[in-house]
């Protein structure tokens, strides 16, 4: 590993040195665009706001100093027939050659942007300075005094729209007196009004019907603004009336729609259910009830663009539906003179079933083994877009050598899982409207695993009943585990097995003893991340996760009611002492986007698990661990903590290096280098602690007056390969402060690579 890192360091140093001669491939008579700077005379106009209007920018500098990608390109020679030259040129970035035409275009674009922001007298000058074969460009923005909104008036001839816009919508108008006369804000106000009207029944309305008139006095910067709706006589046609509301008439579901077929749809043989019409063809692959429950557009109600969007979202959750399109057609007027619309929801079916197989082989010091797995999935098992899935896996490995005293002469594992997911909130006595609004799914699952090892035979069984739903237009996600049962049973084990592996360690014994967990949990997750929105990707991204779970309370209450007193060893179910605890977790992260190539990410998280009642200790699988690729990266996984506990052997001590309290804090700088390669530089802090003073974990208990001395520190560098759909991460962490007793605490003062380093390879960012 040391040789690999040394080689990487030498390679980076060579590229950096070459980057110090950036004009190597700049033709004679041309200039390398070295620096570009924007200066503004108004504090209200930030240079960063105008950077997007630059038509030419210098080569990217890593850490603001080294043009790494340009240096990589400069490693190439002039002979393009050699593969090495072609490779480094494709991986690197060619020098940006100064272009006076692009500079002038940038200047004009900035002036136009300033004009649109209300600075109509703004002037932008571009100055150039050459030194050798390099060119610096400075754009000086003279903003001058902006025009501002002095008054806002409305000129709306239609009485209905006048009442809506002037009396109701104007209260939340984006046009404020005293604000700059910003054309972008004017357009946003047009869109806001149009969206609200279309959500309120005005099907044919659009923002192009809204215009503005701006009036300014001579030599005055004050603008009297008039918002105008074009007169009825200029916009009404025989087909659409944009200033009138439309009501929904007939709603048709077309189940086997072919986009390549003719637009005309034959509705003469349509079936009917709950006032909806169905054109199902020869193969009605989905139940009518499911379609109605996921449709927010209802007969007799006002047209609403929000209902249309919600319907698209709801049908996008149905895995049997491959394609959905919603179309509207005029349907005349009713006896009240109200305008009517017919709605056609056009659907096409996806493949209902899929099967996948997995096969692997193993060789453990000459002992051969294999494993086979299969997964079957049906996306429409009961014709309601329910997803049924089943997984089976079997593994076998032969054993050689002395097998005396063992109960099995092989490793064998058989496992399976069966689950079904309903695309709705499945619970008795719930109204259809509630199920429609929740956009929820209900999951039921059962899993089983049978393991034969030389020393024991173990059976693991579990079942779960879960709900998942979203709110606030998908930005809030909720997971509610109504019931989650985990049962572990060891029917056979070698005589004295537990005493031989853990005579005095209750943590290790617990992993090989029978146990039963019946828990309930809730997880809340929110984020402003929207990968489908390219504009949003350039803004800061935050995520928040909070979770809580409890276990054993119901069983404990039943035990108290049915038993006179609690046994010394605790209450049992099926002869097994069940777990009782409460657990809470919190994580927050934010990524600050510096520019399109640089960002800084911060994460803080914590959690606590409290055993009580029928339990003296948390179940092993519910305890926290520290170290690893997503924690304090100066330590390997499960080698840090708890507290000042010193785990000398990562193999035998890992069972002790777990706790009931966790704390993590991370800061990471991320920079895009070239091609798919990114660089990460990070600082991590954190540790775990125990609630109680366990004999097997000396120094691990959380104490308010000393815990801060036991927070470990680490730093390091990482290389990431971003392939859009997934990211490979290689991180090298180094210990800076080691809280373990008997160890040199400030490791950074006398760094030892073998002792203080940890290498991590994983998929995805740490947070």
- Could you report the per-residue pLDDT of 667-704, keeping only the tens digit for each? 999 998 888 889 999 999 999 999 999 888 899 999 99
Of 521 and 82, the one with more pLDDT: 521
Measured between alpha carbons, how far is residue 223 from residues 112, 364, 658 in Å? 19, 82, 67
What mean pLDDT do residues 15-39 have?
82
Q: List 207's β-bridge partners, or say none.
A: none
Ranked by mean pLDDT, the top range of 46-60, 372-386, 500-514, 551-565 is 372-386
- In tens, the pLDDT along 143-167 reads 999 999 999 999 988 888 888 888 7
What pLDDT score does 562 carry? 87
Read off the pLDDT band of 37 (50, 70, 90): very high
Read off the pLDDT band of 141 (50, 70, 90): very high
Of 524 and 475, the one with more pLDDT: 524
Residue 14 has pLDDT above 60, yes or no: no
What mean pLDDT do residues 627-652 have?
86
Of 111 and 369, the one with more pLDDT: 111
Return d(Cα 374, Cα 64) in angstroms, integer: 51
Residue 91 has pLDDT above 60, yes or no: yes
Residue 366 has pLDDT above 80, yes or no: no
- Total residues belonging to the chain: 767
What pLDDT score does 731 carry? 95
* List of domains in the chain: 2-142 (3.10.20.310), 148-235 (3.10.20.310), 246-349 (3.10.20.310), 362-763 (2.40.160.50)
Q: List 682's β-bridge partners, or say none.
A: 668, 716
Pick from 745, 748, 685, 747: which is nearest to 713 by CA? 685
Phi and psi based region of residue 8 (left: phi greater than 0; alpha: psi -120 to 50; beta: remaining): alpha
**What's the mean pLDDT when you consider all of the chain?**
88
Residue 726's CB is within 10 A of a number of other CB atoms, namely: 9
Pick from 433, 204, 431: which is nearest to 296 by CA? 433
DSSP letter for each residue of 477-507: EEEEEEEEEEEEEEEEE-TTHHHHH-SS-HH
81-90, 123-132, 256-265, 440-449: lowest mean pLDDT where? 256-265
Give percent above pLDDT 70 in the chain. 89
Residue 459 has pLDDT above 80, yes or no: yes
Read off the pLDDT band of 300 (50, 70, 90): very high
Measured between alpha carbons, how far is residue 694 from residues 402, 641, 663, 673, 699 in Å? 37, 13, 20, 48, 9
CA distance from start to end of the chain: 26
Read off the pLDDT band of 534 (50, 70, 90): very low
What pLDDT score does 500 carry? 64
Alpha-helical segments (H) within 227-284: 232-235
Measured between alpha carbons, how far is residue 743 from residues 52, 648, 740, 755 in Å? 52, 10, 6, 11
Residue 474's CB is within 10 A of a number of other CB atoms, namely: 11
Residue 281 has pLDDT above 50, yes or no: yes
Q: List 360's β-bridge partners, or say none.
A: 371
What pLDDT score does 443 carry? 97
Q: Residue 280 has what DSSP assignment? A: -
Query: Exposed (0-12), middle (13-18) or buried (19+): which is 95, by Cβ within 10 Å?
Result: buried
Strands 134-142 and 32-40: parallel
What mean pLDDT do residues 179-206 have?
94
What pLDDT score does 535 carry? 47
Return d(Cα 405, Cα 500) in angstroms, integer: 13
Of 603 and 218, the one with more pLDDT: 603
Of 158 and 31, the one with more pLDDT: 31
43-47, 67-71, 490-494: lowest mean pLDDT where? 490-494
Phi, psi dihedral angles at 456 (to 5 degrees)? -160, 165
Measured between alpha carbons, how far is residue 545 from residues 202, 216, 767 in Å? 39, 52, 11
Pick from 176, 172, 170: which is nearest to 151 by CA? 176
Residue 23 has pLDDT above 60, yes or no: yes
Residue 658 has pLDDT above 50, yes or no: yes
Read off the pLDDT band of 231 (50, 70, 90): confident
Of 653 and 169, the one with more pLDDT: 169
The three-class DSSP label of residue 598 is strand
Give percent above pLDDT 90 in the chain. 61
């Amino acid at each position: 590993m040391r040789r690999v890192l040394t080689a990487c360091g030498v390679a980076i140093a060579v590229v950096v040195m070459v980057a110090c001669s950036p004009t190597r491939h700049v033709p004679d008579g041309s200039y390398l665009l070295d620096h570009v700077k924007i200066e503004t005379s108004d504090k209200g106009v930030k240079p960063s706001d105008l950077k997007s209007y630059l038509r030419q920018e210098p080569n990217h500098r890593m850490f603001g100093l080294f043009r790494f990608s340009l240096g990589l390109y400069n490693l190439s020679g002039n002979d393009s027939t050699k593969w090495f030259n072609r490779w480094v040129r494709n991986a690197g970035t060619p020098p940006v050659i100064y272009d006076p035409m692009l500079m002038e275009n940038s200047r004009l674009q900035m002036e136009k942007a300033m004009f649109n922001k209300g600075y109509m007298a703004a002037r932008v000058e571009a100055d150039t300075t050459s030194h050798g074969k390099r060119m610096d460009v400075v754009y000086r923005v003279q903003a001058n005094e902006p025009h501002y909104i002095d008054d806002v008036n409305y000129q709306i001839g239609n009485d209905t729209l006048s009442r809506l816009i002037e009396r109701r919508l104007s209260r939340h108008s984006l046009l404020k007196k005293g604000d700059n006369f910003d054309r972008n804000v004017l357009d946003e106000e047009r869109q806001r009004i149009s969206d609200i009207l279309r959500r309120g029944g005005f099907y044919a309305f659009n923002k192009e019907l809204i215009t503005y008139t701006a009036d300014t006095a001579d030599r005055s910067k004050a603008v009297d603004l008039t918002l105008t709706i074009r007169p009825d006589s200029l916009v009404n046609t025989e087909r659409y009336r944009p200033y009138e509301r439309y009501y929904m008439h007939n709603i048709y579901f077309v189940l086997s729609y072919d986009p390549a077929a003719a637009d005309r749809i034959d509705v003469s043989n349509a079936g009917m259910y709950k006032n909806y019409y169905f054109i199902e063809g020869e193969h009605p692959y989905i139940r009518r009830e499911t379609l109605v429950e996921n449709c927010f557009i209802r007969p007799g109600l006002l047209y609403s663009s929000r209902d249309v969007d919600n319907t698209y979202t709801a049908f996008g959750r149905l895995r049997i539906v491959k394609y959905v399109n919603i179309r509207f057609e005029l349907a005349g007027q009713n006896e009240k003179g109200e305008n009517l619309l017919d709605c056609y929801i056009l659907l096409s079916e996806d493949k209902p079933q899929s099967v996948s197989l997995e096969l692997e082989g193993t060789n453990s010091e000459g002992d051969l083994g294999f494993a086979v797995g299969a997964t079957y999935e049906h996306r429409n098992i009961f014709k309601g877009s329910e997803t049924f899935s089943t997984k089976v896996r079997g593994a076998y490995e032969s054993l050689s050598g002395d097998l005396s005293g063992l109960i099995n002469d092989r490793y064998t594992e058989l496992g399976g899982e069966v689950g079904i997911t309903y695309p709705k909130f499945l619970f008795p006595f719930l109204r259809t409207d509630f199920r429609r609004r929740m956009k929820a799914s209900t999951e039921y699952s059962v899993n089983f695993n049978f393991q034969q090892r030389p020393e024991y035979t173990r059976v693991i069984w579990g079942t779960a009943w879960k709900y998942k739903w979203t709110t606030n237009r998908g930005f809030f996600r909720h997971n509610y585990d109504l019931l989650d049962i985990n049962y572990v049973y060891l029917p056979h084990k070698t005589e004295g097995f537990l005493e031989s592996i853990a005579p005095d360690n209750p943590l290790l014994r617990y992993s090989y003893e029978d146990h039963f967990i019946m828990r309930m949990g809730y997880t809340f997750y929110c984020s402003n991340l929207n990968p489908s929105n390219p504009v949003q990707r350039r803004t800061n991204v935050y995520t928040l996760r909070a979770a809580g779970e409890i276990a054993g309370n119901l069983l404990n209450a039943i035990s108290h009611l049915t038993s006179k007193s609690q046994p010394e060893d605790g209450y049992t179910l099926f002869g097994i002492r069940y777990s009782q605890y409460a657990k809470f977790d919190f994580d927050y992260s934010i990524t600050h986007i510096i520019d399109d190539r640089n960002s800084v990410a911060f994460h803080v998280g914590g959690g606590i698990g409290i055993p009580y009642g029928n339990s003296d200790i948390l179940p092993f699988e519910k305890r926290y661990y520290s170290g690893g690729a997503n924690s304090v990266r100066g330590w390997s996984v499960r080698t840090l903590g708890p507290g000042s506990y010193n785990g000398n052997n990562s193999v035998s001590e890992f069972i002790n290096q777990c706790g009931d309290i966790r704390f993590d804090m991370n800061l990471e700088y991320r920079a895009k280098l070239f091609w798919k390669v990114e660089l990460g530089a990070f600082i991590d802090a954190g540790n775990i602690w125990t609630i109680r003073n366990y004999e097997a974990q000396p120094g691990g208990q959380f104490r308010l007056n000393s815990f801060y001395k036991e927070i470990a520190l680490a730093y390091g560098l990482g290389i990431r390969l971003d392939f859009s759909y997934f990211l490979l991460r290689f991180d090298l962490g180094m210990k800076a402060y080691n809280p373990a007793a008997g160890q040199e605490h400030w490791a950074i003062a006398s760094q030892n690579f073998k002792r203080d380093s940890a290498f991590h390879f994983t998929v995805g960012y740490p947070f």
